[in-house]
Amino acid sequence: MSRYQACFQALRARRERAFIPFFVIGDPDYKTSLKAVKAALEAGADMLELGIGFSDPIADGPSIQAADLRALEAGMTVDRCFEFIEEVRGFSDVPMGLLVYYNLLLRRGVDRFCRQAAKAGLDGILAADVPIEEAGPVIEGCKSSGIDPIFMVTPTTTEERMRKILAHADGFLYLVALLGVTGARGDLHPEALRLIRRVRSRTDLPLCVGFGISRPEHVRALSRAGADGAIVGSAIVNLIARNLHNGTKMPEAVRRYVRTMKKQTLPARR
């Protein structure tokens, strides 16, 4: 049983949903980034979604673009990111997924990248800019290394494409809550709730929703609609950005935020 399967199974037994924070590895530097991740785990994060800094992150908005640049300027490389994942794995057994752009896999070699990711302790890879029709090398590389290939489903995904995705996806499905790039939003788009219902009727895979999720009420609404988890990136990255020069305050800000959001995934008390 994979870490994803075990984690979602345990959460369902407790009638909980997963809270999944996203971090750009090495933002704003290696040590501070590690402190932020530790703070999130101590506050109850069920899983981690991690990103490798990239110069042209086409799926990301200004917040994560800025985080990518900070990580790159701090000297983060793919090898350093694998070291980071290995270090996190040394003190936590939570599932860890990697959101990455295909150029980073292609440059290293997809099979080699996946083998190194698995050795570091990674559980899933989502290549954000690879459509299912061209995902063969990623699927093969992941599965041969024991890593789950994660795929996105958006409000505009056709039935035909969804069938192709469901034939290969594992771990969980990443549901995109809205059209456009990542970024904290004030309101939860109604399309996100419709997408959950639409996909749930077609698969038993866990459904985790990201893009624009930032507030406790967003997580509550997703949970009520049947999502298995909420992925929050830009709101956390913004906390880091606001506390770049305060290494003590930043982890505590992350800890408080994650604790507040995680509470929304617990079963309602009667």
Q: From the candidates 46, 49, 68, 148, which is the catalytic residue? A: 49
Q: Which helix (H) or strand (E) holds 97?
A: strand 96-100
Give me the amino acid identity at 168.
H
Q: Judge whether 49 counts as a catalytic residue.
A: yes
Q: Residue 110's closest CA among 128, 146, 137, 133?
A: 137
Give me the amino acid identity at 41.
L
Q: From the candidates 60, 123, 148, 228, which is the catalytic residue? A: 60
Write out 134-190 in H/E/C secondary structure: HCHHHHHHHHHCCCEECEEECCCCCHHHHHHHHHHCCCCEEEECCCCCCCCCCCCCH
Q: Residue 21's closest CA among 267, 196, 270, 256?
A: 256
Q: Judge whether 187 counts as a catalytic residue.
A: no
Burial tier of 156 (Cβ tally within 10 Å: 0-12, 13-18, 19+): exposed
Give me the amino acid identity at 46.
D
Q: How far apart are the first and last CA of the chain?
A: 34
Which residues are catalytic, by number? 49, 60
